[in-house]
Structure 1
Amino acid sequence: MPAVPPAPPVPPLAPDLLEFDADFSGPELDLEQWVPHYLPQWSSRERTRARYDVGDGVLRLRVDADQPAWSVEYDGATQVSNLQTAVRSGPVGSASGQHPFREGLVVREAQGERRLFTPQFGRIEVVAAIDDVDEHAMAALWMIGVEDDPTQSAEICVFEVYGRDIADDGSALVGMGVHPFNDPTITDDFEQVRVHDDVREPHTYTVDWRPDEVVFSIDGLVRKRVAQSPQYPMQLMLNVYAFPPAERVEAGYPESFAVHAVRGYRHE
Protein backbone atom coordinates (compact mmCIF):
# COMPACT_ATOMS: atom_id res chain seq x y z
CA MET A 1 0.00 0.00 0.00
CA PRO A 2 1.48 3.41 -0.94
CA ALA A 3 2.36 5.78 1.86
CA VAL A 4 -0.16 8.50 2.66
CA PRO A 5 1.38 11.85 1.67
CA PRO A 6 1.77 14.34 4.51
CA ALA A 7 -0.76 17.15 4.79
CA PRO A 8 0.37 20.40 3.19
CA PRO A 9 1.62 23.06 5.60
CA VAL A 10 -0.87 25.57 6.94
CA PRO A 11 -0.54 28.74 4.81
CA PRO A 12 0.24 32.02 6.59
CA LEU A 13 -2.45 34.66 6.92
CA ALA A 14 -2.07 38.18 5.61
CA PRO A 15 -0.70 40.71 8.15
CA ASP A 16 -3.80 42.90 7.77
CA LEU A 17 -5.89 40.10 9.30
CA LEU A 18 -3.98 40.38 12.58
CA GLU A 19 -6.27 41.43 15.46
CA PHE A 20 -4.26 40.56 18.58
CA ASP A 21 -0.48 40.85 18.76
CA ALA A 22 1.32 40.17 22.03
CA ASP A 23 5.01 40.25 21.15
CA PHE A 24 6.26 41.19 24.65
CA SER A 25 8.57 43.79 23.17
CA GLY A 26 7.87 46.34 25.89
CA PRO A 27 9.44 46.48 29.34
CA GLU A 28 6.18 45.45 31.05
CA LEU A 29 3.16 43.27 30.41
CA ASP A 30 0.48 45.09 28.41
CA LEU A 31 -2.54 45.16 30.72
CA GLU A 32 -4.70 46.32 27.82
CA GLN A 33 -4.14 42.82 26.40
CA TRP A 34 -4.07 40.61 29.50
CA VAL A 35 -5.83 40.15 32.83
CA PRO A 36 -3.05 38.74 35.08
CA HIS A 37 -5.28 36.55 37.28
CA TYR A 38 -6.62 33.00 37.06
CA LEU A 39 -10.41 32.62 37.27
CA PRO A 40 -10.51 35.08 40.18
CA GLN A 41 -14.27 34.72 40.65
CA TRP A 42 -13.73 31.30 42.28
CA SER A 43 -11.11 32.73 44.67
CA SER A 44 -9.83 36.31 44.74
CA ARG A 45 -7.69 38.59 42.63
CA GLU A 46 -5.02 38.57 45.31
CA ARG A 47 -4.66 34.77 45.50
CA THR A 48 -4.79 34.37 41.72
CA ARG A 49 -2.24 37.02 40.80
CA ALA A 50 0.18 35.80 38.11
CA ARG A 51 3.94 35.86 38.49
CA TYR A 52 5.97 36.60 35.39
CA ASP A 53 8.95 38.40 33.89
CA VAL A 54 9.04 40.33 30.61
CA GLY A 55 12.27 41.23 28.82
CA ASP A 56 14.03 41.00 25.47
CA GLY A 57 10.77 40.13 23.73
CA VAL A 58 10.01 37.12 25.94
CA LEU A 59 7.38 36.55 28.60
CA ARG A 60 8.33 34.02 31.25
CA LEU A 61 5.32 32.80 33.20
CA ARG A 62 6.36 31.20 36.46
CA VAL A 63 5.11 29.59 39.67
CA ASP A 64 7.33 30.21 42.69
CA ALA A 65 7.73 28.06 45.78
CA ASP A 66 6.08 30.66 48.02
CA GLN A 67 3.12 31.24 45.70
CA PRO A 68 -0.23 30.48 47.37
CA ALA A 69 -2.58 27.83 46.03
CA TRP A 70 -5.01 29.70 43.83
CA SER A 71 -8.14 28.09 45.40
CA VAL A 72 -7.68 25.68 48.27
CA GLU A 73 -11.46 25.36 48.49
CA TYR A 74 -11.96 24.15 44.93
CA ASP A 75 -8.58 22.97 43.65
CA GLY A 76 -6.51 21.94 46.63
CA ALA A 77 -2.79 22.73 46.50
CA THR A 78 -2.66 23.62 42.78
CA GLN A 79 -0.67 26.77 42.03
CA VAL A 80 -1.19 28.76 38.82
CA SER A 81 0.19 31.76 37.02
CA ASN A 82 -2.25 32.71 34.28
CA LEU A 83 -2.93 35.50 31.82
CA GLN A 84 -6.42 35.71 30.31
CA THR A 85 -8.07 38.06 27.85
CA ALA A 86 -11.46 38.52 29.55
CA VAL A 87 -13.14 38.12 32.92
CA ARG A 88 -16.71 38.25 34.21
CA SER A 89 -18.89 36.80 36.96
CA GLY A 90 -22.20 37.06 38.71
CA PRO A 91 -22.56 38.29 42.31
CA VAL A 92 -20.91 36.67 45.32
CA GLY A 93 -22.74 33.48 46.23
CA SER A 94 -23.96 32.80 42.70
CA ALA A 95 -22.78 30.05 40.37
CA SER A 96 -22.30 32.44 37.44
CA GLY A 97 -18.66 32.44 36.42
CA GLN A 98 -16.35 31.29 33.68
CA HIS A 99 -14.94 27.80 33.28
CA PRO A 100 -17.06 25.50 35.49
CA PHE A 101 -14.25 22.97 35.98
CA ARG A 102 -16.07 21.10 38.75
CA GLU A 103 -19.47 20.83 40.43
CA GLY A 104 -20.48 23.15 43.24
CA LEU A 105 -18.52 26.26 42.27
CA VAL A 106 -19.69 29.44 43.99
CA VAL A 107 -18.48 32.97 43.23
CA ARG A 108 -16.24 34.10 46.10
CA GLU A 109 -15.24 37.49 44.69
CA ALA A 110 -17.40 39.23 42.10
CA GLN A 111 -15.62 40.35 38.95
CA GLY A 112 -16.61 43.27 36.78
CA GLU A 113 -16.87 42.39 33.12
CA ARG A 114 -13.78 43.07 31.03
CA ARG A 115 -13.33 41.88 27.45
CA LEU A 116 -9.92 42.55 25.92
CA PHE A 117 -9.79 39.92 23.16
CA THR A 118 -12.77 37.62 22.65
CA PRO A 119 -12.83 36.36 19.06
CA GLN A 120 -15.47 34.19 17.48
CA PHE A 121 -13.56 32.07 14.96
CA GLY A 122 -10.11 32.86 13.57
CA ARG A 123 -6.52 31.69 14.02
CA ILE A 124 -4.69 31.72 17.34
CA GLU A 125 -0.97 31.02 17.44
CA VAL A 126 1.57 30.99 20.23
CA VAL A 127 5.35 30.70 19.98
CA ALA A 128 6.55 29.00 23.15
CA ALA A 129 9.50 27.09 24.59
CA ILE A 130 8.42 24.66 27.29
CA ASP A 131 11.82 24.67 28.87
CA ASP A 132 11.51 24.64 32.66
CA VAL A 133 8.59 22.51 33.87
CA ASP A 134 9.26 19.32 35.80
CA GLU A 135 7.08 16.28 36.46
CA HIS A 136 4.91 18.31 38.84
CA ALA A 137 3.96 21.05 36.36
CA MET A 138 2.22 21.80 33.07
CA ALA A 139 2.24 24.64 30.52
CA ALA A 140 -0.71 25.46 28.27
CA LEU A 141 -2.69 27.82 26.08
CA TRP A 142 -6.41 27.20 25.85
CA MET A 143 -9.60 29.05 25.08
CA ILE A 144 -12.88 29.16 26.99
CA GLY A 145 -16.27 30.65 26.33
CA VAL A 146 -16.93 34.08 27.78
CA GLU A 147 -20.17 32.44 28.97
CA ASP A 148 -22.86 35.02 28.35
CA ASP A 149 -24.92 31.83 28.64
CA PRO A 150 -23.83 28.94 30.93
CA THR A 151 -23.89 26.51 28.01
CA GLN A 152 -21.29 28.60 26.15
CA SER A 153 -18.56 26.92 28.15
CA ALA A 154 -16.53 24.66 25.84
CA GLU A 155 -12.75 24.67 25.78
CA ILE A 156 -10.38 24.65 22.81
CA CYS A 157 -6.96 23.49 23.99
CA VAL A 158 -4.30 24.89 21.64
CA PHE A 159 -1.59 22.97 23.49
CA GLU A 160 -0.82 21.55 26.90
CA VAL A 161 2.41 19.84 27.92
CA TYR A 162 3.10 18.15 31.24
CA GLY A 163 6.69 18.04 32.38
CA ARG A 164 6.32 14.31 33.00
CA ASP A 165 5.64 13.85 29.26
CA ILE A 166 8.87 15.49 28.09
CA ALA A 167 11.64 12.99 27.32
CA ASP A 168 15.33 13.57 27.96
CA ASP A 169 15.81 14.57 24.31
CA GLY A 170 12.99 17.13 24.52
CA SER A 171 10.44 15.15 22.50
CA ALA A 172 7.05 15.14 24.15
CA LEU A 173 3.37 14.35 24.15
CA VAL A 174 1.38 17.50 23.36
CA GLY A 175 -2.30 17.63 24.26
CA MET A 176 -4.79 19.31 21.92
CA GLY A 177 -8.50 19.17 21.21
CA VAL A 178 -11.86 20.27 22.59
CA HIS A 179 -13.74 19.68 25.85
CA PRO A 180 -17.49 20.35 26.23
CA PHE A 181 -17.90 21.22 29.93
CA ASN A 182 -21.54 22.45 29.90
CA ASP A 183 -21.88 22.86 26.14
CA PRO A 184 -24.35 20.17 24.91
CA THR A 185 -23.33 20.74 21.28
CA ILE A 186 -19.70 19.63 21.81
CA THR A 187 -18.41 16.09 22.28
CA ASP A 188 -15.09 15.58 24.02
CA ASP A 189 -12.36 15.11 21.40
CA PHE A 190 -8.89 15.45 22.90
CA GLU A 191 -5.63 13.58 22.47
CA GLN A 192 -1.92 13.76 23.09
CA VAL A 193 0.14 13.73 19.90
CA ARG A 194 3.79 12.72 19.81
CA VAL A 195 6.17 15.55 18.90
CA HIS A 196 9.68 14.41 18.04
CA ASP A 197 11.20 17.89 18.01
CA ASP A 198 12.57 19.40 21.21
CA VAL A 199 9.66 21.26 22.84
CA ARG A 200 12.16 23.05 25.09
CA GLU A 201 12.99 25.13 22.02
CA PRO A 202 10.54 27.67 20.55
CA HIS A 203 7.78 26.16 18.41
CA THR A 204 4.59 27.63 16.96
CA TYR A 205 1.36 26.04 18.20
CA THR A 206 -1.68 27.07 16.16
CA VAL A 207 -5.42 26.53 16.09
CA ASP A 208 -7.61 27.44 13.12
CA TRP A 209 -11.11 27.80 14.51
CA ARG A 210 -13.79 27.82 11.86
CA PRO A 211 -17.59 27.57 12.05
CA ASP A 212 -17.52 23.88 11.11
CA GLU A 213 -14.19 22.58 12.46
CA VAL A 214 -11.13 23.24 14.60
CA VAL A 215 -7.70 22.42 13.15
CA PHE A 216 -4.58 22.10 15.30
CA SER A 217 -1.03 22.43 13.96
CA ILE A 218 2.56 22.66 15.19
CA ASP A 219 5.12 24.60 13.16
CA GLY A 220 2.66 24.79 10.29
CA LEU A 221 1.95 21.03 10.10
CA VAL A 222 -1.57 19.83 10.87
CA ARG A 223 -1.63 17.40 13.79
CA LYS A 224 -5.35 17.11 14.57
CA ARG A 225 -8.78 17.99 13.15
CA VAL A 226 -12.01 18.21 15.10
CA ALA A 227 -15.23 18.23 13.05
CA GLN A 228 -17.16 20.41 15.50
CA SER A 229 -16.82 23.97 16.68
CA PRO A 230 -17.98 26.23 19.54
CA GLN A 231 -20.29 28.91 18.14
CA TYR A 232 -19.68 31.85 20.50
CA PRO A 233 -16.95 34.26 21.62
CA MET A 234 -14.00 32.76 23.48
CA GLN A 235 -11.06 34.17 25.43
CA LEU A 236 -7.44 33.09 25.78
CA MET A 237 -5.99 31.40 28.87
CA LEU A 238 -2.17 31.24 28.93
CA ASN A 239 -0.78 29.50 31.99
CA VAL A 240 1.66 27.39 33.93
CA TYR A 241 0.42 25.07 36.67
CA ALA A 242 2.25 23.44 39.54
CA PHE A 243 0.80 20.36 41.24
CA PRO A 244 2.73 19.93 44.50
CA PRO A 245 2.94 16.27 45.57
CA ALA A 246 1.32 15.22 48.85
CA GLU A 247 4.73 14.37 50.28
CA ARG A 248 7.11 17.27 50.00
CA VAL A 249 10.05 16.56 47.73
CA GLU A 250 12.87 18.68 46.47
CA ALA A 251 10.82 21.05 44.33
CA GLY A 252 11.77 22.26 40.88
CA TYR A 253 10.64 25.81 41.52
CA PRO A 254 10.27 28.07 39.78
CA GLU A 255 8.11 26.14 37.34
CA SER A 256 8.13 28.23 34.18
CA PHE A 257 8.11 28.44 30.41
CA ALA A 258 8.96 31.07 27.82
CA VAL A 259 6.45 32.70 25.48
CA HIS A 260 7.78 34.66 22.52
CA ALA A 261 4.47 35.74 20.98
CA VAL A 262 0.72 35.22 21.04
CA ARG A 263 -1.27 36.32 17.98
CA GLY A 264 -4.87 36.26 16.90
CA TYR A 265 -6.06 36.61 13.29
CA ARG A 266 -9.46 36.74 11.67
CA HIS A 267 -9.91 34.42 8.71
CA GLU A 268 -10.37 35.87 5.22
Structure 2
Amino acid sequence: MRTDPMRPPEAPRDEVPPPPRRLPVFDDEFHDGIDERRWIPAYLSHWTTARRAAARTLSVADGLELRIESDQPDWRAEDAPLRVSNLQTGAFSGPVGSPRGTHRHRGDGLLVRTHTPTRLLFAPSRGRIEITLSASTDPGCMTAAWLVGTEHRAPTEAGEICIFEIDAAAVGMPTTVRTGVKSHHDPRLITEMRGIEVPVDAAAAHTWTVIWDGRETLIGCEGRLVGRWAQSPSYPVFLMLDLFELGGSGGAYPKRATLHRVRGWDVPYG
Protein backbone atom coordinates (compact mmCIF):
# COMPACT_ATOMS: atom_id res chain seq x y z
CA MET A 1 0.00 0.00 0.00
CA ARG A 2 1.48 3.34 -1.07
CA THR A 3 1.45 6.31 1.28
CA ASP A 4 -0.12 9.51 -0.03
CA PRO A 5 2.61 12.21 0.33
CA MET A 6 -0.11 14.87 0.67
CA ARG A 7 -2.04 13.13 3.44
CA PRO A 8 -0.78 13.31 7.03
CA PRO A 9 -0.27 9.96 8.74
CA GLU A 10 -2.25 9.09 11.83
CA ALA A 11 -0.66 10.76 14.86
CA PRO A 12 -1.85 12.41 18.05
CA ARG A 13 -2.91 16.01 17.39
CA ASP A 14 -0.19 17.37 19.68
CA GLU A 15 2.66 15.41 18.08
CA VAL A 16 4.64 16.21 14.94
CA PRO A 17 3.85 13.60 12.27
CA PRO A 18 6.76 11.24 11.52
CA PRO A 19 9.16 12.12 8.71
CA PRO A 20 8.78 10.65 5.24
CA ARG A 21 10.23 7.17 4.81
CA ARG A 22 12.36 8.27 1.90
CA LEU A 23 15.76 9.84 2.46
CA PRO A 24 15.86 13.63 2.73
CA VAL A 25 16.81 15.53 -0.40
CA PHE A 26 18.71 18.05 1.74
CA ASP A 27 20.87 17.00 4.70
CA ASP A 28 23.70 19.08 6.16
CA GLU A 29 25.50 18.69 9.48
CA PHE A 30 28.07 21.37 8.54
CA HIS A 31 31.05 19.04 9.03
CA ASP A 32 32.97 20.83 6.29
CA GLY A 33 31.76 24.36 6.96
CA ILE A 34 29.47 25.99 4.41
CA ASP A 35 28.59 23.87 1.41
CA GLU A 36 28.00 26.48 -1.29
CA ARG A 37 26.09 23.93 -3.37
CA ARG A 38 23.43 24.27 -0.66
CA TRP A 39 23.89 27.69 0.95
CA ILE A 40 24.51 31.31 0.06
CA PRO A 41 26.26 32.89 3.08
CA ALA A 42 24.75 36.36 2.73
CA TYR A 43 21.57 38.14 3.79
CA LEU A 44 19.49 39.36 0.83
CA SER A 45 22.50 40.89 -0.87
CA HIS A 46 20.40 42.32 -3.72
CA TRP A 47 18.95 44.98 -1.38
CA THR A 48 22.41 46.07 -0.17
CA THR A 49 26.08 45.43 -1.01
CA ALA A 50 28.06 42.21 -0.90
CA ARG A 51 30.23 43.47 1.98
CA ARG A 52 27.27 44.44 4.14
CA ALA A 53 25.34 41.24 3.37
CA ALA A 54 28.18 38.77 3.98
CA ALA A 55 27.75 36.32 6.85
CA ARG A 56 30.32 35.87 9.59
CA THR A 57 30.63 32.18 10.49
CA LEU A 58 32.96 29.68 12.17
CA SER A 59 33.11 25.89 11.87
CA VAL A 60 32.98 24.26 15.31
CA ALA A 61 32.96 20.66 16.51
CA ASP A 62 29.17 20.39 16.65
CA GLY A 63 28.21 22.45 13.62
CA LEU A 64 28.47 25.99 12.31
CA GLU A 65 28.35 29.20 14.30
CA LEU A 66 26.53 32.19 12.86
CA ARG A 67 28.38 35.16 14.32
CA ILE A 68 28.02 38.89 14.84
CA GLU A 69 31.47 40.45 15.21
CA SER A 70 32.48 43.84 16.55
CA ASP A 71 33.68 45.16 13.16
CA GLN A 72 30.71 43.87 11.17
CA PRO A 73 28.88 46.57 9.19
CA ASP A 74 25.14 47.21 9.38
CA TRP A 75 23.13 45.40 6.72
CA ARG A 76 22.06 48.76 5.23
CA ALA A 77 23.23 52.11 6.52
CA GLU A 78 19.66 53.42 6.67
CA ASP A 79 18.60 50.42 8.82
CA ALA A 80 21.31 50.88 11.45
CA PRO A 81 21.67 49.49 14.00
CA LEU A 82 21.02 46.14 12.32
CA ARG A 83 23.70 43.52 11.75
CA VAL A 84 23.01 40.02 10.49
CA SER A 85 24.70 36.77 9.55
CA ASN A 86 22.50 34.55 7.40
CA LEU A 87 22.50 31.40 5.30
CA GLN A 88 19.89 31.06 2.55
CA THR A 89 19.19 28.35 0.00
CA GLY A 90 18.87 30.54 -3.07
CA ALA A 91 18.67 34.04 -4.47
CA PHE A 92 16.77 36.11 -7.00
CA SER A 93 16.69 39.77 -8.00
CA GLY A 94 15.77 42.01 -10.88
CA PRO A 95 18.26 44.51 -12.35
CA VAL A 96 19.83 47.30 -10.33
CA GLY A 97 17.18 49.88 -9.50
CA SER A 98 14.34 47.37 -9.77
CA PRO A 99 11.87 46.67 -6.95
CA ARG A 100 11.91 42.94 -7.88
CA GLY A 101 13.68 40.56 -5.55
CA THR A 102 13.21 37.88 -2.92
CA HIS A 103 11.73 38.94 0.43
CA ARG A 104 10.46 42.50 0.00
CA HIS A 105 9.95 42.57 3.76
CA ARG A 106 10.14 46.32 4.28
CA GLY A 107 7.62 48.96 3.33
CA ASP A 108 10.09 51.76 2.65
CA GLY A 109 10.72 51.14 -1.05
CA LEU A 110 13.48 48.54 -1.29
CA LEU A 111 15.31 48.74 -4.61
CA VAL A 112 17.97 46.40 -5.97
CA ARG A 113 21.50 47.68 -5.31
CA THR A 114 23.42 44.55 -6.32
CA HIS A 115 22.07 42.38 -9.12
CA THR A 116 21.95 38.77 -7.90
CA PRO A 117 21.62 35.97 -10.48
CA THR A 118 18.80 33.52 -9.88
CA ARG A 119 20.01 30.47 -7.92
CA LEU A 120 17.52 27.81 -6.84
CA LEU A 121 19.73 25.64 -4.64
CA PHE A 122 16.82 24.32 -2.54
CA ALA A 123 13.43 25.82 -3.27
CA PRO A 124 10.61 23.36 -2.59
CA SER A 125 6.94 24.26 -3.05
CA ARG A 126 5.89 21.87 -0.28
CA GLY A 127 7.70 19.58 2.09
CA ARG A 128 9.17 19.13 5.53
CA ILE A 129 12.26 20.73 7.09
CA GLU A 130 13.94 19.96 10.42
CA ILE A 131 16.39 22.45 11.93
CA THR A 132 18.56 21.57 14.93
CA LEU A 133 20.26 24.57 16.52
CA SER A 134 21.28 26.35 19.69
CA ALA A 135 19.87 29.89 19.84
CA SER A 136 21.84 32.96 20.86
CA THR A 137 21.67 34.34 24.40
CA ASP A 138 23.82 37.36 23.56
CA PRO A 139 22.39 40.82 24.33
CA GLY A 140 20.32 42.39 21.55
CA CYS A 141 20.30 39.25 19.37
CA MET A 142 17.55 37.29 17.67
CA THR A 143 17.86 33.83 16.12
CA ALA A 144 15.38 33.10 13.33
CA ALA A 145 14.39 30.67 10.58
CA TRP A 146 12.05 31.50 7.72
CA LEU A 147 10.75 30.02 4.49
CA VAL A 148 10.23 32.91 2.06
CA GLY A 149 8.73 32.96 -1.41
CA THR A 150 11.44 33.14 -4.07
CA GLU A 151 9.39 35.63 -6.18
CA HIS A 152 11.39 34.61 -9.27
CA ARG A 153 8.16 33.66 -11.10
CA ALA A 154 5.84 36.37 -9.79
CA PRO A 155 6.00 39.17 -7.18
CA THR A 156 2.87 37.82 -5.48
CA GLU A 157 4.70 34.57 -4.60
CA ALA A 158 6.04 36.38 -1.56
CA GLY A 159 4.55 34.73 1.52
CA GLU A 160 6.58 33.61 4.49
CA ILE A 161 6.45 30.78 6.99
CA CYS A 162 8.12 32.07 10.13
CA ILE A 163 9.36 28.84 11.70
CA PHE A 164 10.70 30.70 14.73
CA GLU A 165 12.01 34.04 15.90
CA ILE A 166 13.77 33.75 19.26
CA ASP A 167 14.89 36.88 21.11
CA ALA A 168 17.95 36.25 23.26
CA ALA A 169 16.25 37.87 26.25
CA ALA A 170 13.41 35.32 25.99
CA VAL A 171 15.63 32.23 26.09
CA GLY A 172 15.30 30.08 29.20
CA MET A 173 13.10 27.33 30.54
CA PRO A 174 10.59 27.80 28.98
CA THR A 175 11.55 29.89 25.96
CA THR A 176 9.17 32.40 24.35
CA VAL A 177 9.15 32.48 20.54
CA ARG A 178 7.21 34.00 17.65
CA THR A 179 5.95 31.69 14.93
CA GLY A 180 3.38 31.67 12.13
CA VAL A 181 2.61 32.86 8.61
CA LYS A 182 3.21 36.30 7.07
CA SER A 183 1.46 37.36 3.89
CA HIS A 184 3.85 40.12 2.76
CA HIS A 185 2.76 40.66 -0.87
CA ASP A 186 0.72 37.49 -1.32
CA PRO A 187 -3.02 38.36 -1.36
CA ARG A 188 -3.91 34.68 -0.87
CA LEU A 189 -2.40 34.60 2.62
CA ILE A 190 -3.17 36.48 5.81
CA THR A 191 -0.59 37.36 8.44
CA GLU A 192 -1.17 35.16 11.48
CA MET A 193 1.66 35.25 14.01
CA ARG A 194 1.62 33.84 17.53
CA GLY A 195 3.76 34.33 20.60
CA ILE A 196 4.13 31.00 22.37
CA GLU A 197 6.15 29.30 25.09
CA VAL A 198 8.01 26.08 24.31
CA PRO A 199 9.20 23.82 27.16
CA VAL A 200 12.86 23.89 26.14
CA ASP A 201 15.89 26.00 26.93
CA ALA A 202 16.58 27.19 23.38
CA ALA A 203 20.24 27.88 24.22
CA ALA A 204 20.75 24.08 24.11
CA ALA A 205 20.54 22.02 20.94
CA HIS A 206 16.90 21.42 20.00
CA THR A 207 14.96 20.68 16.81
CA TRP A 208 12.23 22.60 15.02
CA THR A 209 10.04 21.05 12.33
CA VAL A 210 7.92 22.71 9.65
CA ILE A 211 5.53 20.84 7.35
CA TRP A 212 3.59 22.61 4.58
CA ASP A 213 1.58 21.34 1.62
CA GLY A 214 0.00 24.39 -0.03
CA ARG A 215 -3.10 24.09 2.17
CA GLU A 216 -1.85 23.85 5.75
CA THR A 217 1.24 24.65 7.80
CA LEU A 218 2.39 22.71 10.87
CA ILE A 219 5.23 23.88 13.09
CA GLY A 220 6.69 21.83 15.93
CA CYS A 221 9.48 21.92 18.48
CA GLU A 222 11.14 18.80 19.88
CA GLY A 223 8.46 16.57 18.41
CA ARG A 224 5.49 18.53 19.76
CA LEU A 225 3.23 20.69 17.61
CA VAL A 226 3.27 24.34 18.61
CA GLY A 227 0.92 25.55 15.90
CA ARG A 228 -1.27 24.61 12.96
CA TRP A 229 -2.36 27.15 10.33
CA ALA A 230 -5.03 26.55 7.68
CA GLN A 231 -2.90 28.20 4.99
CA SER A 232 0.56 27.92 3.44
CA PRO A 233 2.51 29.07 0.40
CA SER A 234 2.05 26.86 -2.66
CA TYR A 235 5.09 28.03 -4.63
CA PRO A 236 8.89 27.79 -4.35
CA VAL A 237 10.42 29.05 -1.11
CA PHE A 238 13.97 29.57 0.12
CA LEU A 239 15.09 28.62 3.63
CA MET A 240 16.78 31.40 5.59
CA LEU A 241 18.66 30.88 8.88
CA ASP A 242 19.61 34.07 10.67
CA LEU A 243 21.39 35.65 13.60
CA PHE A 244 20.51 39.34 14.04
CA GLU A 245 21.87 42.01 16.33
CA LEU A 246 19.03 44.51 16.58
CA GLY A 247 19.80 46.87 19.41
CA GLY A 248 23.18 48.32 18.55
CA SER A 249 26.61 47.38 19.83
CA GLY A 250 26.92 46.05 23.36
CA GLY A 251 28.17 43.11 25.35
CA ALA A 252 30.97 40.75 24.43
CA TYR A 253 31.86 39.74 20.86
CA PRO A 254 31.54 37.60 18.90
CA LYS A 255 27.85 36.94 19.46
CA ARG A 256 26.79 33.52 18.21
CA ALA A 257 24.10 30.95 17.46
CA THR A 258 25.01 27.41 16.41
CA LEU A 259 23.49 25.37 13.57
CA HIS A 260 23.87 21.63 14.13
CA ARG A 261 21.87 20.02 11.35
CA VAL A 262 19.28 20.80 8.66
CA ARG A 263 17.26 18.12 6.87
CA GLY A 264 14.67 18.70 4.16
CA TRP A 265 12.19 16.69 2.11
CA ASP A 266 10.28 17.87 -0.95
CA VAL A 267 7.17 15.99 0.21
CA PRO A 268 5.37 16.72 3.50
CA TYR A 269 4.44 13.11 4.30
CA GLY A 270 4.82 9.65 2.81
For normalisation by structure 1, the TM-score amounts to 0.90
Aligned mates of 2:94, 2:201 — CA distance in 1: 43
* Unaligned runs of at least 5 residues, structure 2: 1-11
Q: Distance in 1 between matches of 2:14 and 2:181?
A: 23
Counterpart-to-counterpart distance in 2, 1:70 and 1:228: 31
Q: Does the residue aligned with 2:231 lie in a helix, a strand or coil?
A: coil
Q: Which amino acid aligns with 2:238?
A: Q
Report the 3-state secondary structure (helix = DSSP H, G, I; strand = E; otherwise coil) of the residue aligned with 2:53.
Answer: coil
CA-CA distance at 1:25 after TM superposition: 1.9
Number of aligned residue pairs: 255
Matching of residue 126 in structure 1 with residue 108 in structure 2: no
Deviation at 1:254, TM superposition (A): 1.9
| Match in the other structure for 2:262 | 262
**1:100 matched to which residue of 2?**
104
Residues 152-180 of structure 1 deviation map (CA, whole Å, 9 limit, x = unaligned): 1111011110012124xx42101110100
Q: Which residue identity lines up with residue 258 of structure 1 in the other structure? A: T
AA aligned opposite 2:146 = W
Matches within 5 A, 1:84-163: 84-103=88-107, 104-130=109-135, 132-147=136-151, 148-163=153-168
Q: Does 1:13 align with 2:19?
A: yes
Q: Is the 8 A contact 1:7 1:221 kept in 2?
A: no
Matched, 1:173 2:179: no
- SS of structure 1 residue aligned to 2:22: helix
Amino acid at match of 1:225: R
The one-character-per-residue Cα deviations of 1:99-121 (angstroms, maximum 9, x if unpaired) are 11123111111111111000011
Equivalent position SS for 1:46: helix
What is the Cα-based RMSD across aligned positions, in Å?
A: 1.5
Instruction: Output the CA distance in 1 between the equivalents of 2:141 and 2:43.
Output: 16
**Hey, what's the Cα distance between the residues in 1 that align with 2:177 and 2:189?**
21
Q: CA deviation at 1:14?
A: 3.8
Give structure 1 regions of 4+ aligned residues with deviation exceeding 6 angstroms.
Answer: none
Q: Deviations over 1:96-146 (max 9, x none)?
A: 11111123111111111111000011101100111x333411001111001
Distance in 1 separating the partners of 2:17 and 2:158: 30
- The 8 Å contact of residues 172 and 198 in structure 1, kept in 2 or not, is answered as yes
The DSSP-based 3-state class of the residue aligned with 1:212 is coil
Distance 2:180 2:253 in 1: 29
- Unaligned 5+ segments in structure 1 are 1-5
Q: Secondary structure at the match of 2:158?
A: coil
Q: 2: CA distance between counterparts of 1:228 and 1:81?
A: 29
* Aligned-partner residue type, residue 26 of structure 2: F
CA contact (8 A) 1:141 1:237 kept: yes
Deviation of 1:91 after TM superposition, in Å, equals: 0.6
Give the corresponding residue for 2:210: 207
Match of 2:3 in 1: none
Residue matched to 1:61: 66
* Structure 2 residue matching 1:18: 3-state secondary structure: coil
Please tell me the residue identity of whatever aligns with 2:174.
Answer: S
Match of 1:230 among 224, 229, 233: 233
Q: Which amino acid aligns with 1:18?
A: P
Distance in 2, Cα, partners of 1:14 & 1:166: 31
